[in-house]
Amino acid sequence: MVTRHGKTLWRYRRKGKEAMMPGEPHTPEFDAAYSAIIEGRALPNADVIRHPKAAAPRSLKAAYQLLKQEDEWLALDPLKTQATYARTIERILDLPAGNNSTIGDGPFADLERAHVKNILKHFPTHMARTALICMKKLTMIALDQEWIKHDPTYRLKKNTPTQGHHPWPADIMAKFEAKWPIGSRPRTAYALALWLGNRVSDVARLSWSHYTVKQIMIDGTLCEYEGFEFVQWKGRKKKGEAMFLPMTPMLATELAPLERDPEGPVLKKQLKSKKRGWFYADITLTIAMAEWCEKAGIPPGYTMHGLRKSLGVKLAEADASTRQIMDTLGHRNIAYAELYTRKASQARLAIQAMDKVSAMETARRKPRLIVSNKK
C-alpha cells in the first residue's frame, strides 16, 4: 500500500494473520519479521531511538527549550552572549546524573541547592559565574511555569569578582604612543577606544557615516559640536538608542591625518578601499591590539577594553557625575559608573584627609618657645 505521502508500506495478510512489515523486502528487519510470522513467533520490537533534542516534561531540558523562546533570550547577541549562554547551558544539561541519564533529563522539582553547587564545581573559576547565571535563567522558567515553588539558586554567591581589564596608567600610554605615530592603524584604534570609550565591537564598526555635527543649547548658548552618533553594538537589540559622543581636541588631533571616506570605516583594516575585508572583525582587532602592545614593549593584560576603563577613570577624576559617566560610556547599570566615581572619590578624600594629618603633625613637631616665670 502507498500512503498519501507517497511512502510504500508492506503488509502480510494470510489466513486471518495480518501484520505490517518493517522496512523493504529483502532487508534484515523485513526478513526477520516475515520469519517470525511464518513460525508463529511474536514480531520483534522496533528499536527505540531517542531524539537527541527530546526533553522530558518539566525537566531542565524542557526549561531550556522554553528559555530559547523568550524575548529576553532572543534579544541577546547571537554571536556572543547568547552563544556563550547556550554553550554553557548545553554543557550543564549533558553532565552525567547516573543510570545513563544526564542532568538535563531530570525533573526540575528534584533539583536542590546542593545539586546546583555541585554543577558549578564542574566549571573553572572564570566560568562559574556564567554557569550560575545560566542556572538562574533556567530556574526562572521553572518558577514561571510553576514546576517548582522555591528557587534553588537563591542567594548563591558568585565567585569573587576580579578586577577585569586593567585601566592603562600614564606610563603605559606613553609607551604605546611613542611606538605608534598618529595616523597609524594601531594609534587610531588606541585613540578611538580611549577618547570615545568605545568597546572593541564599536571601534571595529565605527564609520565616517556616523560622523555628524550637532547644535546643542548649553547654558543658554547654542553651540555646535562635531562628533559621532551611533548605536552601540552591545545591547543594540535591547536598547537600540543612538548615542552621540563629541569630538574632543585630543581625538581630533589623532584623526586629523585620516582619509574620510563617507562609506568607509574610521579604522581601516586595509589601505585600499575594498568593501570586503575593509572593516575589522572583533576578534581580529582584539588580536591585533595584543600584537601592537607587544611590539610597543607593553606587558600582557592591557587591552582595548582597558582603554575604555581608562576614560571612565579620567571622567571620574574630572568630577563627572555618575549620570554623565553612564551616558558617555553607554552603561545601563549605574553600579558600573559608580565604581569609577567611588575609586576617584576614595583617592581624593584619602589625600585630603592625609593632608590634614600631615599639617597637624607638622604643627605638633615645630619647636615651641616655653616662657618660664621661675627665677
Residue 28 shares a structural domain with residue 98: no
Residue 221 shares a structural domain with residue 303: yes
Contacts of 327 (CB under 8 A, 6+ apart): 243
Residue 67 shares a structural domain with residue 45: no
Among 114, 117, 116, 92, smallest CA distance to 105 is for 92
Q: What are the C-alpha distances in Å from 93 to residues 67, 90, 221, 338? A: 14, 5, 60, 37
Within-domain flag for 176: yes
Q: Which long-range contacts (CB under 8 A, 24 or more apart) does 66-69 make?
A: 66/141, 66/145, 67/137, 67/138, 67/141
Summarised one tens digit per residue, pLDDT across range 32-82 is: 877 877 766 776 665 655 556 678 899 999 999 999 999 999 988 888 889
Summarised one tens digit per residue, pLDDT across range 199-242 is: 898 999 999 999 999 888 878 888 888 899 888 887 777 666 78
Q: What are the C-alpha distances in Å from 78 to residues 137, 138, 165? A: 17, 18, 24
Summarised one tens digit per residue, pLDDT across range 355-369 is: 787 788 788 777 776
Residue 177 shares a structural domain with residue 309: yes
Copy the grid coordinates of residue 285: 582587532
* Calpha distance 261→278 (Å, rounded): 12
**How does residue 341 score in pLDDT terms, banded at 50, 70 and 90?**
low
Instruction: Decide if 186 contacts 235 (C-beta within 8 A).
Output: no
* Calpha distance 272→284 (Å, rounded): 18
- Sheet strands (E) in the chain: 10-14, 17-21, 96-98, 101-102, 211-218, 221-231, 242-246
CATH at residue 327? 1.10.443.10
* Calpha distance 106→301 (Å, rounded): 42
* Calpha distance 81→63 (Å, rounded): 19
**Domain, as residue range, for 69:** 60-144
The one-letter amino acid at 357 = V
Summarised one tens digit per residue, pLDDT across range 186-209 is: 999 999 999 888 889 899 999 999
Residue 35 shares a structural domain with residue 69: no
* Calpha distance 43→256 (Å, rounded): 83
Residue 314 shares a structural domain with residue 219: yes
Q: What are phi and psi of 231, to 5 degrees?
A: -100, 125
How do beta strands 211-218 and 221-231 pair?
A: antiparallel
Among 194, 135, 126, 190, smallest CA distance to 161 is for 126
Mean pLDDT of the chain: 83
Residue 80 shares a structural domain with residue 207: no
Total domains in the chain come to 3
State whether residue 80 is helix, strand or coil: coil
